[in-house]
Chain A
Amino acid sequence: MPDVTKTADAAVVATPSVDAPAPQAKPEKPRSLWGDAWRDLRRNPYFIVSSVLIFFLLLIAAFPGMFTSASPTAGDLVKHYIGKPELSKIGSEGWLGYDIQGRSVYARLIYGTRASIIVGICVTAIVTVLGGIMGMIAGYFGGWVDALLSRITDIFFGIPFLLGAMVVLQAFTERTVMVVVFALAFLGWTQMARVMRGAVITVKQADYVHAAKALGAGTTRILFRHILPNAMAPVIVVATIALGGYISAEATLSYLGLGFAAPTVSWGLDISAGVQAIRTSQHILLYPSIMLSLTVLAFIMLGEAVRNALDPKLR
């Protein structure tokens, strides 16, 4: 392949699909944007730390039984409010203490991971696809299509995010994972649509798009094979950072009593329950808060690292 066309072509080859989760170019194409980014990432300590954290979080979410044998829902009232970390017994049922109903705080931490991770990933996936398509259509076609879609985006953007989610959730009496995901995605897509629209407008003026048009490529082909791979970088960055934000939003809603309800194990619920004992048994509040913040931190750090790798101006 001649060297002149490297960036555009290699990027197309490297990430042809819509839902490629991370910029992982093949090493034999080292001079592409994604290849450069990947080489940059591997040396970034933020990336390494956040990847390790996220790997463990995914593992915990998928196989909570591997980390604790205790049940998150079985309470022994005799043990309620017992707390004090026993570092020698790390990983045992009671090493982080027990909550109000005598349930193991540690087991609840482990089993609560799944709800947060699922909500974060599902909302991000829906929002990226939906907002991405909206933004792509608005940015590519321009004119009245853009005006219409942009006004619709503005309308949804005008309602404060948390407030909108609260109103949607209030409408459901049984708040399952899918309901919470829907409530967060309902107003969340506007951000992605705006980012995608901006990126597509910049990319569509590039020479290779004109060339593809001149060669008679169809609209779908131009959009998905030429524009999308080159407009995806900012969307991926925003999506990764937003994933942390959605996890935080889910916990906030659960804390307010509008997210998940009792039989579901969720950090937000545990924090909300821990508030009752804030002056006496702070461990009930403390550990889920740490776990939640750590999870959000991991995704935000990953997003930052990807941003630094993809944005040549910041190098």
Chain B
Amino acid sequence: MGRYVARRLLQMIPVFFGTTLLIFLMVYSLPGDPVAGLFGDKGASPSTLAELRHKYGLDQHILKQYWDYITGIVLHFDFGTQFRNDRPVTEVLGDAFPVTIQLAALAFAFELVFGIGLGIIAGLRAGRLADNAILIFTLLIISIPVFVLGFIIKMVFAFQLGWIQPNVSNDQLLSEMIAPAIVLGGLSLAYVARLTRTSMAENLRADYMRTAVAKGLPKRRIIGVHLMRNSMIPVITFLGTDIGALMGGAVVTEGLFNVKGVGGLIYESITRREGSTLVGLVTVLVVVYLVTSLLIDLLYAVLDPRIRYA
């Protein structure tokens, strides 16, 4: 176990550097000049531009810039400076991440409860009416792009029924986050329900299920313990990779509902060519992704004792 974790942590190192370098190169090979962009149409004298470039290290070779950036993160937890208002990127991220984590957690809880719930209902009644209804419902949800789903929810619940406010206010109350969380988690909910259903329907026919029934165990225990524990591995795999996706993929949802989180920041930094902010964001998301995938691999052994790590 300890050796397995160590090996996985070692494997993470090249992936971490590779991904950050890739996004760094992508961002800094963009045409356009973030420094010149600060001055708008009027422009500034070349010496001012050169001085600013020097201040942010933009006049150095790209690999040197990457090296300085990454050592700054690793050694001093310094993510650089946002050009536009000279704020440290850590501070900008500190403002945005709590909001997004709140939204993502709500969406995650939503997909966990309803996704697994619907999946269990469908899986236990495979081939019957409830199963088919859930299959068609999830198929529809998967087909509707997130921004269309967002508009449908806005149109129906905000404009016609008036149950919710169309936009989240500046206080970012938890109750206002429900609608965006449903939109954000909708797609994953459908996937979770389908995965749970397939996995359960398959395992219903397994030998250990027959044994459990033959032993005379109560139905609750057969389904709740024997069947669930064995059926959850693919679902947990999906849920794990989804945590990172929920945090990074909220660009559209956050824009739709005016949530001031990571998604809006990503969009803004791409269009404004704020390289340092963008790379910082991606770095955090990559770390989240790497850590969750490791945790999930370790969870397998808890769910299925046959899996052992040498």
Q: Which residues of A contact B (CB under 8 A)?
A: 151-152, 154-156, 158-160, 162-164, 166-168, 170-171, 173, 244, 248, 251-252, 255-256, 258, 271, 275, 278-279, 282, 285, 289, 292-294, 296-297, 300-301, 304, 313-314
Is the pair A300, B142 in contact by a Cβ cutoff of 8 Å?
yes
Is the pair B155, A163 in contact by a Cβ cutoff of 8 Å?
no
Number of interface residues of B (CB under 8 A): 46
Interface presence of B245 (CB below 8 A): yes
Q: Give me 29 A-to-B residue pairs in the complex whose CB atoms sit less than 8 angstroms apart, sorted by A's number.
A: A151-B14, A152-B18, A154-B15, A155-B15, A155-B19, A156-B19, A158-B18, A158-B286, A158-B290, A163-B248, A163-B282, A166-B270, A170-B271, A171-B26, A171-B30, A252-B146, A252-B147, A271-B151, A275-B151, A278-B151, A285-B151, A292-B148, A293-B140, A293-B145, A296-B142, A296-B145, A297-B143, A300-B143, A314-B198
Q: How many A-B residue pairs have CB under 8 A?
A: 115
Is the pair B18, A173 in contact by a Cβ cutoff of 8 Å?
no
Is the pair B19, A159 in contact by a Cβ cutoff of 8 Å?
yes
Is the pair A151, B27 in contact by a Cβ cutoff of 8 Å?
no
Is the pair B155, A293 in contact by a Cβ cutoff of 8 Å?
no
Contact with A along B133-156 (1 / 0, CB 8 A): 000000110111111100110110
Question: Given the complex of chains A and B, what is the CA–CA distance between A300 and B30 in angstroms?
Answer: 34
Question: Given the complex of chains A and B, what is the CA–CA distance between A160 and B202 in angstroms?
Answer: 32
Chain B residues in 8 Å Cβ range of A248: 145
The 8 A-B pairs at the shortest CB distance, nearest first, are namely A155-B18, A297-B143, A160-B248, A158-B19, A289-B148, A248-B145, A296-B143, A154-B15
CB under 8 Å from chain A, chain B span 248-269: 248-249, 251-252, 255, 266-267
Q: Is the interface of A mostly helix, strand, loop or mixed?
A: helix
Is the pair B30, A160 in contact by a Cβ cutoff of 8 Å?
no
Is the pair B148, A271 in contact by a Cβ cutoff of 8 Å?
yes
Interface presence of B289 (CB below 8 A): yes
Is the pair A256, B145 in contact by a Cβ cutoff of 8 Å?
no
Question: Given the complex of chains A and B, what is the CA–CA distance between A313 and B146 in angstroms?
Answer: 32
Chain A residues in 8 Å Cβ range of B144: 293, 296
Q: Which of B31, B144, B273 has the most CB of A within 10 A?
A: B144
Q: Select one of B139, B145, B198, B273 contacting A252, CB under 8 A.
A: B145
Is the pair A244, B143 in contact by a Cβ cutoff of 8 Å?
yes
Q: Select one of A167, A173, A292 contacting B270, CB under 8 A.
A: A167
Is the pair B145, A162 in contact by a Cβ cutoff of 8 Å?
no
Chain A residues in 8 Å Cβ range of B19: 154-156, 158-159
Shortest C-beta distance, A37 to chain B (Å), equals 18
CB nearest neighbor in A for B194: A304
CB under 8 Å from chain A, chain B span 1-46: 11, 14-15, 18-19, 22-23, 26-27, 29-31
Interface presence of B204 (CB below 8 A): no
Chain A residues in 8 Å Cβ range of B26: 164, 167-168, 171
Interface presence of B93 (CB below 8 A): no
Is the pair A256, B251 in contact by a Cβ cutoff of 8 Å?
yes
Interface presence of B232 (CB below 8 A): no
Question: Given the complex of chains A and B, what is the CA–CA distance between A112 and B1 in angstroms?
Answer: 54
Question: Given the complex of chains A and B, what is the CA–CA distance between A300 and B152 in angstroms?
Answer: 21
Is the pair B245, A293 in contact by a Cβ cutoff of 8 Å?
no
Shortest C-beta distance, A281 to chain B (Å), equals 12
Shortest C-beta distance, A209 to chain B (Å), equals 27
CB nearest neighbor in A for B151: A285
